[in-house]
Amino acid sequence: MEFLYEYGLFVAKAVTLVVAFVVVVATIVGAASKQKQGKGHLEITSISDQLKDVTQYAKQVLLDKTAMKKLAKEQKKEAKAKNKQQDSEEKSRLFVIDFNGSMDAGEVDHLREEVTAILCVAEPKDEVLVRLESGGGVVHGYGLAASQLQRIKNKGIQLTIAVDKVAASGGYMMACVSDKLIASQFAYIGSIGVLAQLPNFNKLLKKNDIEFEQHTAGEFKRTLTVFGENNDEGRAKFKEEIEEIHVLFKDFVHSQRPNMDIDKVATGEYWPGVKAKELGLVDEIATSDDYILSHYPKREIFSVKYAIKKNVAEKLGMSAASVVERIFMKGMNKARHWF
C-alpha cells in the first residue's frame, strides 16, 4: 500500500508539472499572437573599439610583466597625445555596411535606411565601405540597390566596395558604382548578362484534355506563357526585351567604369578576382578585413546596420528551430561515428 501511495503522489506531481507547463506556453503564445510586428531600429557599433579590445587581449596573453608595464606607460603617453589631437582635429570616419543580397534584392529596404542614416552625419572627409555579397537577381530590385549606393557618391563621400566571395550580375551592377572596388583573389566577379527562363505545361495540359484560355489587350501584353501555346513571334519579342535590358546593363556598367572594354566582359561570364583585375572589373586584390585594418587606428570605424526587432512568436520559433537543429546535428554526428 505504501508503494501505491508513493506512486500515486509521483504521478500527481508529474501531471501538475505538465499542466503548469502547458498553461505557461499557452499564455506566451497568446501574448505573442496579439503582439504586432516589431519596428526596425538602427544599430551602430564601433569596430575600432572591437579591434582595440582584441589587440589589448592579445598583448596581455603574449607579453611578459616587464613588457606589459612598458606598454602601459606608452599607452598613457599615447592617450594624452590623442586627447590633445582630438581637441585640435577630429578623426575622419569609416562607415561599414554589409549587404548580403538575395534573388529579390529584398535587403534594399534595410540598405536604404543605412545609407540615409550615414548621409545624415557623414562629412566629405569620411568614407563608406560596403561589404557586398550577391549572385544577382531581379533587375528592378538591384537597380534600386545600385541607386541607393549612388546616393553616397552624389553627396561627395568616398564609396568603397569590397567583395570577399561573389558580386555577379545584379551584384556587380551594385559593385561597379563604387569609387574603388576591391575583391579577394578567388571571389566571383562579372556575369554582366541577363537571364530569363520559364517552364511551359501546354503539352501536358493537352495530353490530359485540359483547355487553357488567356485573353490580352495589346499585341505583346504577354509574349511567353507558362500554360498557353507559345509561338515564334512571342519568343522573338521576348528575346528582344532581354537584349534591351542587356544593353541598359552594359551602358550602366560602362558609365561607371569607362576605361574597361565593356564588349569584352559583357558576355555573361564571370572570373576570379585576379583575372577580374586584369580585365578592369576591379581595382585591387584585397579582402574587406585587410581594408578595414589599413584604416585602423587612423580612422574611427563604425558598423551601421538596420535591424528588425523580432516579436515573441518569432523568437520562440527561432529558439525551437535551433533546438531541433542541434538535436538533428547530434544525431548526424553519432551516425557518422558508425562509418
Model pLDDT for residues 259-283, shown as the tens digit of each residue: 999 999 999 999 999 999 999 999 9
161 Cβ contact list (under 8 Å, min separation 6): 129, 130, 132, 149, 167, 174, 175, 177, 178, 180, 181, 182
| 281: nearest Cα among 209, 158, 133, 180 | 180
Residue 322 lies in a domain: no
Report the first-to-last Cα separation within the chain, whole angstroms.
51
What was the pLDDT predicted at 84? 61
pLDDT per residue as tens digits for the range 173-194? 999 999 999 999 999 999 999 9
What was the pLDDT predicted at 13? 60
User: Domain check: are 103 and 202 in the same one?
Assistant: no
Residue 237 lies in a domain: yes
Looking at residues 63-88, what average pLDDT do you find? Answer: 68
Residue ending a domain, choose from 245, 265, 285: 265
Residue 73 lies in a domain: no
Residue 32 lies in a domain: no
User: Domain check: are 166 and 281 in the same one?
Assistant: yes
Task: Calculate the alpha carbon distances from 274 to 185, 186, 338 in Å.
Answer: 5, 7, 43
pLDDT band at 59 (very low <50, low <70, confident <90, very high): confident
User: Domain check: are 132 and 118 in the same one?
Assistant: yes
User: Domain check: are 174 and 276 in the same one?
Assistant: yes
What was the pLDDT predicted at 62? 80
pLDDT per residue as tens digits for the range 218-228? 988 889 999 99
User: Domain check: are 135 and 185 in the same one?
Assistant: yes
Phi-psi category of 89—alpha, beta or left, where left has phi over 0 and alpha has psi -120 to 50?
beta
Looking at residues 77-98, what average pLDDT do you find? Answer: 75
pLDDT band at 332 (very low <50, low <70, confident <90, very high): very low
Residue ending a domain, choose from 265, 295, 324: 265
Residue 199 lies in a domain: yes
Residue 305 lies in a domain: yes
User: Domain check: are 140 and 216 in the same one?
Assistant: no
pLDDT value at 98 more than 80 = yes
pLDDT value at 334 more than 70 = no
User: Domain check: are 285 and 174 in the same one?
Assistant: yes
Residue ending a domain, choose from 265, 280, 300: 265
User: Domain check: are 172 and 301 in the same one?
Assistant: yes
Grid coordinates of 275: 583575372
Q: Are 36 and 311 in contact (CB under 8 A)?
A: yes
Can you give the pTM of this predicted structure?
Answer: 0.77
Q: Is 150 helix (H, G, I), strand (E, B) or coil?
A: helix
| Helical spans, DSSP H, in 122-197 | 139-154, 170-175
Q: In total, how many domains does the chain have?
A: 2
List 36, 203, 207, 221, catalytic entry? 221
pLDDT per residue as tens digits for the range 313-329? 555 555 555 654 555 44
CATH code at 100?
A: 3.90.226.10
pLDDT value at 333 more than 50 = no
**By residue range, what is the domain housing residue 224?**
192-265
User: Domain check: are 252 and 294 in the same one?
Assistant: no
What was the pLDDT predicted at 69? 74
| Helix (H) or strand (E) run with residue 250 in it | helix 232-256
User: Domain check: are 275 and 138 in the same one?
Assistant: yes
Mark whether 80 is an active-site residue: no
List 48, 169, 178, 303, catalytic entry? 169
User: Domain check: are 141 and 282 in the same one?
Assistant: yes
Q: Mean pLDDT check: name the lowest of 14-28, 146-160, 257-271, 273-287.
A: 14-28
User: Domain check: are 151 and 244 in the same one?
Assistant: no
Mark whether 169 is an active-site residue: yes
pLDDT band at 339 (very low <50, low <70, confident <90, very high): very low
Average of per-residue pLDDT values in the chain: 84
Q: Are 167 and 174 in contact (CB under 8 A)?
A: yes
